[in-house]
Amino acid sequence: MTENEFDKLWQQAEVEGYSQRLVAEYPGWRRKQQRTISMVAASLAVVVLVVLVLVAQLQQPQDFEKVYCNRVGTTDAQWASLAAEILME
């Protein structure tokens, strides 16, 4: 049974009230359900990631937008501070 065929059957089962039986008897149902859950989870993860990035940007101090660095150990704010200090020397 293709997914389209199953979808039609599912709609019919919902109308006629035998969807529970279909869940119990159709072996592909679980896989279909898992695929749907995976897609929803992946979409949610992307949304959460975007929100986190936006929140992080909003929380950054306003005196710089973004810092790229080739080392760990120095914070973005420290680099921005150095950019200001060099100008004042």
Partner 1 sequence: MKRLLVILMLLLPVAAMAQSELYKQYASQEDLAVAQVSGFKLNETVRVDVVLVVADNEAAWNRLKEELDIRGEEGVNSWLGELKQPVKRVKWNGKTLLRVIASHARRTVGFYRIDNEEQYDALLDYQLNKMKK
Contact residues for partner 1 (CB under 8 A)? 42, 45-46, 49, 62-71, 74, 76, 79-80, 82-84, 86-89
CB of 62 to partner 1, least distance (A): 6
* Residues in the chain, overall count: 89
Output the six-digit token pair for 85.
């200090």
Give the nearer residue to partner 1 in terms of CB position, either 4 or 62. 62
CA distance 49 to 55: 10
Q: What are phi and psi of 62, to 5 degrees?
A: -85, -5
Give the nearer residue to partner 1 in terms of CB position, either 51 or 84. 84
